[in-house]
Amino acid sequence: MFNKIHIWLGSTKKKEEEYYEYFDQDEGIAEFSRDIGVEEYDEDVSCFLPPFSESIPVLDLLKETDINDSDLELAIQKCEDLKLFEGNCIFYMYVLPYIEIKKPYKENYNGAKYLGIYNVKHNSKS
Tens of pLDDT along the chain (126 residues) come to: 789 999 999 999 999 999 999 999 998 999 999 999 999 999 999 999 999 999 999 999 999 999 999 999 999 999 999 999 999 999 999 998 888 898 989 999 999 999 999 999 976 554
For residue 124, tell me if it sits in a domain: no
Strands 89-94 vs 46-48: parallel, antiparallel or unpaired: antiparallel
Find the length of the chain: 126
- Residue range of the domain that includes 113: 4-119
Cα gap 74→64, rounded to integer Å: 16
Domain count, the chain: 1
Predicted local distance difference test score (pLDDT) of residue 46: 96
Q: Please give the pLDDT value at position 97.
A: 86
Q: Which among 32, 26, 25, 31 is positioned nearest to 8, based on CA atoms?
A: 32
On whether the CB atoms of residues 89 and 22 are closer than 8 A, the answer is: no
Within a 13 Å sphere around the CA of 12, how many CA atoms are in the beta-carbon half? Answer: 23
What is this structure's pTM?
0.93
Round the average pLDDT of the chain to a whole number and report it.
94
**97 in a structural domain:** yes
- Return the SS3 of 5: strand
Residue 112 lies in a domain: yes
